[in-house]
Structures are given as structure tokens and as C-alpha cells.
């Protein structure tokens, strides 16, 4: 398991919490708690964002919020955060595809009603996030 700094853990925690909040289905919400497990790119993004945020705070403190150096650093934070969000969407798409196709052990541990709600919500999410589904390589599978 990769060890992340406190700041990087907060970056991941905040992003994962946003993903959990996106879903009403308890099945999908539960999966979102672990959507980042074992993904090294999540670690790299989180550390980069945490470090860039710290640098932005320092440049703001030293030079002011309207200084060009702070502006560049702040833009770097925003770019990293956007890329991280896009990457998390790919991970969510992979989970949604598994759920939408009723694959995996989770089916044995959920009520039929919960399964149907999760499948429907997973398909809706994938339809609304076509780019993430295509990047994850699941678009064709879930639209067939």
C-alpha cells in the first residue's frame, strides 16, 4: 500500500467523498469509498496537488495573490485538480460498468431491489459521462 502525506490523503478523501455523494444507490455509494484503492496514479496526483497547493499558499503569502508567480502556481493546482477529477471519473466508470453488467461478487450480497437500483443508476452515470466511459474502455460494453 502506498503511503501518502496528510495533505495528499485529504485531497483523495475530499474527491472520494464527492463521488460517494453523487450516488443514491447504497451499492454504488459503498463502492465509491474504495474507488481509489491500489491506483498509483491517484497517489501521484494527490501528492502533486497537495504540493502544488502548498506552493500556492506560500507564493500567496510571500508575493501576494495577484503576483504572476502565484497566478502560475494557482493555475497549476487547478490543472492538476481537473486531471485528477477526470482520472477518478475513469475509475468510477469502471465500477459503474461492473455494476451495470451485473458482474462480480457484489450481486450475491445485495437484494434484488438494490441491484436493480444500482444497475439503473450506473447506466445513467455512464451515459452522462461518456468521455470517462470511453477512456475506461467500457463504453461499447455498456451501450450494446
Measured over the CA atoms of residue 23, residue 129, residue 17 and residue 87, the dihedral's sign is positive
Give, for all 144 residues of the chain, the pLDDT tens digit: 568 899 999 999 999 999 999 999 999 999 999 998 889 999 999 999 999 999 999 999 999 989 999 999 999 999 999 999 999 999 999 999 999 999 888 887 778 888 999 999 999 999 999 999 999 999 988 887
Distance from the Cα of residue 8 to its chain's centroid: 14
Contacts of 138 (CB under 8 A, 6+ apart): 93, 94, 96, 97, 126
- pTM > 0.75: yes
Amino acid at each position: 500500500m502506498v503511503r501518502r502525506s496528510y495533505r495528499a490523503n485529504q485531497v483523495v478523501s475530499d474527491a472520494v467523498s464527492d463521488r460517494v455523494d453523487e450516488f443514491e444507490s447504497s451499492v454504488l455509494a459503498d463502492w465509491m469509498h474504495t474507488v481509489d484503492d491500489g491506483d498509483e496514479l491517484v497517489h501521484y496526483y494527490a501528492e502533486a496537488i497537495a504540493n502544488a497547493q502548498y506552493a500556492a499558499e506560500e507564493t500567496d503569502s510571500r508575493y501576494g495573490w495577484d503576483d504572476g508567480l502565484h497566478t502560475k502556481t494557482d493555475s497549476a493546482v487547478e490543472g492538476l485538480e481537473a486531471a485528477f477529477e477526470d482520472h477518478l471519473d475513469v475509475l468510477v466508470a469502471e465500477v459503474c460498468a461492473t455494476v451495470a453488467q451485473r458482474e462480480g461478487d457484489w450481486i450475491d450480497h445485495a437484494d434484488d431491489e438494490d441491484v436493480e437500483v444500482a444497475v439503473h443508476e450506473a447506466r445513467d452515470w455512464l451515459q452522462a459521462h461518456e468521455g470517462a466511459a470511453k477512456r475506461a474502455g467500457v463504453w461499447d460494453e455498456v451501450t450494446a
